Amino acid sequence: MNEIEEEYTTRRFKITHVIESMKEMEVGDIQHGEMETHFGVDWTTYTYRDESDLHIGLKCHTPPESKSPWSMVTNISLKSNQVLGFSFFELDHCFHTENYQKSENFDDLKRYWEICKEKPLKFNFFVEVTDVSGVPGYDEPMVTLIVNKQRIEVARKTLVKESLHFRQLLVRKPPGSCEIPVGRPVYNLQLLLPVLEQTSVINDKTVLRILQTAYKFMFPVVVKRCEYFLMERSRKCAEILKGIAERYGLEKLKNLTCARCGAVDVSGQVMPNFA
């Protein structure tokens, strides 16, 4: 596991809720645990009892300095070593401005009651934070791209804005032709290279979007691969390709288009396309 992956996988915390006595919990009662602060927000556990169920929950409070909608995506595991077979897990639960708490219902009150006769009952929430937005000081707008073993951090929002293809990579549903560890902060941009060879799904528009982003963040390997695509498979006319070559400094494409632009047929018309 590399350093970046270790940093990511340690964004976890545990918060414990203790029920001292079930006798003290009457129907309709809510008991809150102590508030703890993790990753810029306050977290509180709670239990609620109704006629037949015990509700065990976790609240993610609104960040104190947040002036805009916020969200925190988490993987949640709820466990109790005192209750045999007790376990709950939820992947990608999103706490946000209008949905700030998560609870589970367990209907075996009798079993909990028996345990609490002898000692307090403890429930542990194991929380892994996978994405943060709108939390001052704890936003995670950067992703790390690896190009020729060089790590380059770029803004997630910029990637989404600049490239439709990158947007697909960052929304947890990558295209089937590209195996990217989506949902993790490490993306190997070189894995995009085989995608460019899938002519059935990759066209000029997609290549130009990738080229725009790769050029902006100085990824020469990807820029070169885009250049090869434009030279070998593009259906754009030579004049347009010449302009693209000049804009992005693609010398091989520029030389080829200049040669093509100079190739005139017997009627004096420039040959516009090459594939």
Task: Say what the pTM is.
Answer: 0.48
Decide: helix, strand or coil at residue 6: helix
| Sequence-distant (≥ 6) Cβ neighbours of residue 42 within 8 angstroms | 35, 36, 60, 61, 64
Give pLDDT, residue 15: 93
Q: Which two tokens stand for residue 256?
A: 């080829």
Mean pLDDT per 10-residue segment, the chain (275 residues) = 35 86 79 88 87 81 77 83 68 74 62 72 85 71 59 59 55 40 49 53 74 76 84 86 91 88 46 35
Q: What residue type is 30 in one-letter code?
A: I
Q: What is the CA radius of gyration of the chain?
A: 27
CATH architecture for the domain at 3-133:
Sandwich (2.60)
Q: Could you report the per-residue pLDDT of 127-151, keeping only the tens digit for each?
A: 988 777 777 776 655 566 665 565 6
Q: Could you report the per-residue pLDDT of 102-131, keeping only the tens digit for each?
A: 766 555 666 677 777 777 888 889 998 877
Determine which helix (DSSP H) or strand (DSSP E) holds 231, and give its type and residue range: helix 220-232
How is the chain split into domains, by residue range?
3-133, 142-234
**How far is residue 128's CA from residue 187's CA, in Å, rounded to a whole number?**
20
